[in-house]
Structure 1
């Protein structure tokens, strides 16, 4: 079990209803494009994101099975849709519905794109509980918030 101070991982950034978070990666998952909304919501400057693995925003609450499913789906040429909790640079978090798919030129896969939109409070609660259960069942790290 990993322990964190009470201030870590507790501040949520809401994704505005009228915003769309967009990013692209190369085939290895390194960021090649991040729109301004992605930068603002994640708390990173564009230069901090470009060339970095997209999992720079992976929140520790996300079960590894979710990303195994994502990679399996997109590598098979299909579109993946799922709910993701991401971590900001300041260790806050934000929830999104993610749509990830391949980008093809002349029939050849050249990169991946991800479009992310806000989700409801009820959906966040549902998936937080689901992901906590998945991590526990798969013996993945869990966290305990320490109040000082």
Structure 2
């Protein structure tokens, strides 16, 4: 699917006094999303449930970030990082994400993710970092064309 580059330029800001919450099964399919996640991502709860959490993966995010996330979870550790997510309308939003396993009786049963807003400076810093990582890894770079 091809999109007009300008669609990727509209940012939705995450409220500073709220937290985006979601849970997934062990394959990364969404089993729970709070109201704020629905509002910020532009999806209804029904659209999110059973979908892969990748539904909000922004193309600016390097693949290596998600590889690190999954390896950290596999090592039974908590992953913390900055993520640029894609909205249903092709806009975006930035968050600091904390992702960890949920265990019952010592057995991993699901993953939970808590996400909070970050500052403008952090967004700029991470956009530059992620652009550099994508370039170094030979990943496709976005480009904005002005006519």
After superposition, residues 1-148 of structure 1 pair within 5 angstroms as 5-148=4-147
Provide the rounded CA distance (Å) in 1 between the counterparts of 2:132 and 2:90. 22
TM-score, normalized by length of structure 2?
0.97
In structure 2, C-alpha distance between the alignment counterparts of 1:31 and 1:4, rounded to whole Å: 25
> Is contact 1:79–1:101 with CA below 8 Å preserved after alignment?
yes
Indicate the SS of the match to 1:83: strand
Q: Name the structure with the higher strand share.
A: 1
1:5–1:147 CA contact under 8 A, matched in 2? no
What is the CA deviation profile of residues 10-41 of structure 1, one whole-angstrom value per residue up to 9, with x for unaligned ones?
Answer: 00000000110000000000000000000000
Question: Equivalents in 1 of 2:7, 2:75: separation in Å?
Answer: 37
SS of the equivalent of 2:6 reads coil
Q: Which runs of 5+ in 1 are unaligned?
A: none
TM-score (norm 1): 0.96
CA–CA separation in structure 1 for the residues paired with 2:64 and 2:103: 26
CA positional deviation for 1:8: 1.3
SS in 2 for 1:144: coil
Unmatched runs of 5 consecutive residues or more in structure 2: none
Matched length: 146
Check the 8 A contact 2:24/2:53 in 1, yes or no: yes
Determine if contact 2:16/2:117 at 8 Å carries over to the other structure: yes
